[in-house]
Structure 1
């Protein structure tokens, strides 16, 4: 039996996409045990990944060096007898714990000063277009992993798939007084990364008005930071339809949001962690891109439409618009998302 330690990412979307690596490792070695060390908030998500044996809390804050604590944690892990470690973040500090733990095989991409800390160092990360490819490539021998073609293309990779417990989901629906008797659209208008990912509230409201006019429910998801945004969207929907729009932002835990997204038919989202969650629970996804690009972190859903402008300054991957105009988002009309929804509906009807 091979024991594997993963040093996981700290962002929701990256954590979801990393499941493709765990699936691949289990396909290669079904008897392996995979433990993932990540921030405590990740634990509920990791518990929805059947490939993960145990989630280990990373007690050191994101960005904090704390060499003493990392050394102590690594020494404590020596007794676990791990055979391999996969270090997904690019920082040197993220590679310290497996090194202190004396794990024989330590695998990761070339990053900041990781020579010696990793003994299976991969130098050609940029030869792989998608982040999920970069994760999965680590499961294969370095000599075979030359570029994206080595993996057979994005469609050949295993997709993240978070499990949904039907009873837990029912309890969550009851807790918030929600019904699944009519079609449900989820809207995820937040973006932890920054405003250059946030589609305007008025555009989201136009989408909400369009689908609610057809009798659908609209659930607005996000963190406490997104409450004001979500309330603004609801207020912009015609008053006679506002009873169909429910603001869940700031009300749910992350895992409750996972279960409620799992009840949605289609989710319209900025390029955010919740976008990747929606894809991983089987929703149709309409993904809205501003400063970022679907050529790097697309939602790994079976049925997905990606909308963006072709303005020459995007993608810039900036947190804030360097020109101050946010044209890549403001000039992306609500009609583009509504048309994407109609395309997905047409695909669903044609398959019936």
Structure 2
């Protein structure tokens, strides 16, 4: 029996894109025990990944070194007797705890000054592995082993009883088709489709007899308020659910419309038919990994710029992406 620790990413989308790696490990070593070291708030994600045995909370926020705390955590991890650790983030800090814990095999991409911290350091070929999920997946095999089979899509499992409890608690109706819209993007405004476009699409869907539910966190309150002003019949759930509840409720959607965000990857892992709107980012690197997914992007000369705020001040990549394009993509999904 092999014990493997995964140092997982802290972002929602990145954490979900690691799930195919866990499936690959289990396919190669069914007796493997996989534990994950990640921030506590990612528990709802990892709890819905069947391959994971246990989640260990990482008490660090972005940018914090906290050497004493890392050393203390490493002592606890050492006692668990892991045979291997796979470090998914590329930062130096993410490789410190595995080193301090003395885990015999420490695997990861070479990354940020990690010579000596990893003893199974891989050199990334970005052309051979253009997608982030592929880069995670490749670490589940020995160095140099090519991807000879198609990578499976990420999968999140749902507990129907917990979902029913959430529906009842919030007084929701599932009698008519639900379209979930996720208008936020924590990275920045250059990833957010404008509220006026979202509202136009929502009104068209509502006129067809569909429900439109908005998903997001408290950080998305402003854009959701703008949408509600223009489309008052939408149901705004942003900030009113936990991440666990949002995942369960999104699984009820007939369709999902998302920016390039963590919730886009949630919808994809739930295998919901979805339309993904891309502005400043690239669908080549982090596409929605689902059987039924349409990408809508204008592919302007200035994009992808990968900036949080449009450096040219016009954000044409999203402002000029009209609602009719997304509506057409939704209809194509359902034919």
TM range (shorter): over 0.9
Deviation at 1:125, TM superposition (A): 4.3
For residues 328 and 143 of structure 1, the distance between their equivalents in structure 2, rounded to whole angstroms, comes to 38
For residues 133 and 276 of structure 2, the distance between their equivalents in structure 1, rounded to whole angstroms, comes to 17
Mapping for residues 302-313 of structure 1, pairs under 5 Å: 302-313=291-302
For residues 287 and 343 of structure 1, the distance between their equivalents in structure 2, rounded to whole angstroms, comes to 13
* 1:136 lines up with 2:140 in the alignment: no
SS in structure 2 at match of 1:54: strand
2:210 to 208, 212, 216: 216
* 1:319 lines up with 2:308 in the alignment: yes
Partner residue, 2:41: 41
Partner residue, 1:279: 268
* 1:236 lines up with 2:234 in the alignment: no
Mapping for residues 143-158 of structure 1, pairs under 5 Å: 143-145=144-146, 150-152=147-149, 156-158=150-152
**Deviations, residues 115-154 of structure 1 (Å, cap 9, x unaligned):** 1110111112423100000000001121224xxxx344xx
Deviation at 1:310, TM superposition (A): 2.2
For residues 178 and 61 of structure 1, the distance between their equivalents in structure 2, rounded to whole angstroms, comes to 35
* 1:78 lines up with 2:78 in the alignment: yes
1:343 to 285, 309, 332: 332
Q: Which runs of 4+ in 1 moved over 6 A?
A: none
For residues 99 and 251 of structure 1, the distance between their equivalents in structure 2, rounded to whole angstroms, comes to 40
Partner residue, 2:155: 161
SS in structure 1 at match of 2:304: coil
For residues 49 and 145 of structure 2, the distance between their equivalents in structure 1, rounded to whole angstroms, comes to 27
**Deviations, residues 228-267 of structure 1 (Å, cap 9, x unaligned):** 2112112212xxxx33x10000101111100010111111
Give aligned pairs, total: 334
Q: Residues 125, 95 of structure 1: CA spacing in aligned structure 2 closer, same or farther, 3 A cutoff?
A: farther
Partner residue, 1:349: none
* 1:293 lines up with 2:282 in the alignment: yes
**Aligned 8 A contact 1:137 1:151 in 2:** no
Partner residue, 1:16: 16
1:187 to 178, 181, 192: 181
Normalised by the length of structure 1, the TM-score is 0.93
For residues 257 and 342 of structure 1, the distance between their equivalents in structure 2, rounded to whole angstroms, comes to 24
Q: CA RMSD in A?
A: 1.0
**Aligned 8 A contact 1:151 1:157 in 2:** no
Normalised by the length of structure 2, the TM-score is 0.98
Deviation at 1:86, TM superposition (A): 0.4
SS in structure 2 at match of 1:142: coil
Higher helix share: 1
Structure 1 spans left out of the alignment, 5+ residues:
347-352
**Deviations, residues 67-111 of structure 1 (Å, cap 9, x unaligned):** 111111112211101001000000111001111111111000011
Partner residue, 1:253: 242
Moved more, 285-294 or 228-237: 228-237
